Amino acid sequence: MSSQHPLPAGRWLVVGAAGQLGTDLVRLLPDNRAVGVDLPEIDITEPASVAATVKSVRPSVIVNAAAYTAVDAAESDPDAAWAVNAVGPALLAEASAEIGAALVHISTDYVFGGDGAEPYGVDAPTEPRTVYGRTKLAGEQRVRDLLTEHYLVRTAWLYGATGTNFVKTMARLERERDTIQVVSDQHGSPTWSTDLARGLLSLVGSGVPYGTYHCTNGGATTWYGFARAVFEELGADQDRVRPCSTGQYPRPAPRPAYSVLSDRTWRAANLAPLPPWREALATAFAEHGAELRS
């Protein structure tokens, strides 16, 4: 958080505080400025629960870091995904409008089709191919329709010290298997949740115009390249990671072949870009190696 961009006065209500991003946001915010809530304290699919929590806390900023992120499960349970990813953001936007709070809503690279060849800009056509992507896009649209004072921030390939994620899965598989196969034909930008949290604090404190921004660690790789980097951080032989194609591992929800997000709008607002993804991974292991290896 830059001293040049002091945070606006008042409390922050962090919804989804038990998750990767929410945990980091609460940790990084100044003492007595953050109120973190998650299930069962708040159910963002229930109007009464959202209204009661927001009226009780009366924050100046609400961050919606809650989401239904089980991409494959969403294909067979679209109603649950819709409730959390579309209805929830709408209820939070309405509650924000009622008390005059700004809303920071977190979205995803999955709102894009994934067949591009250049980083997606904030205004690129959205063509979600999955239930998860379609429900997240619906959440974006509802926030835009209901609240002017919002920052909509898309990110990708998130990992952190809390919860389950790709990095922790690779660390577990390194212990359990001699070799592993990881897809080498899907491209994206691994993003450390602590860096994203710092980026959100900078965004809100900067006073830049409300709107849509992309925030990921810099550069891009494949899941295969990401896995090899994790093995390197673990001190393991990277050649134990073997490349394979998406077609060899069909999933209920199709994964985007290319979902790199452009930070052009972020930079144009004079916001500092996040560090390169490989540098961020090394820092994450240096600071939270025990948790990432668990």
Catalytic residues: 132
Contact 220, 187 (CB under 8 A): yes
Contact 142, 265 (CB under 8 A): no
The pairing of strands 12-15 and 61-64 is: parallel
Q: Judge if the upstream peptide bond of residue 128 is cis by omega within 30 degrees of 0.
A: no
Round the CA-based radius of gyration of the chain to a whole number and report it: 19
Q: Specify the residue for token string 């239930």.
A: 131
Among residues 136, 164, 17, 125, which one has the least CA distance to residue 74? 136
Q: How far is CA 247 from the centre of its chain?
A: 26
Q: How far apart are CA 285 and CA 289, in angstroms?
A: 4
Q: How far apart are CA 126 and CA 141, in angstroms?
A: 11
Q: How far apart are CA 137 and CA 141, in angstroms?
A: 6
Q: How far apart are CA 67 and CA 107, in angstroms?
A: 9
| DSSP class of 174 | H
Q: Specify the residue for token string 């490349």.
A: 243
Output phi, psi for 230, to 5 deg: -65, -45
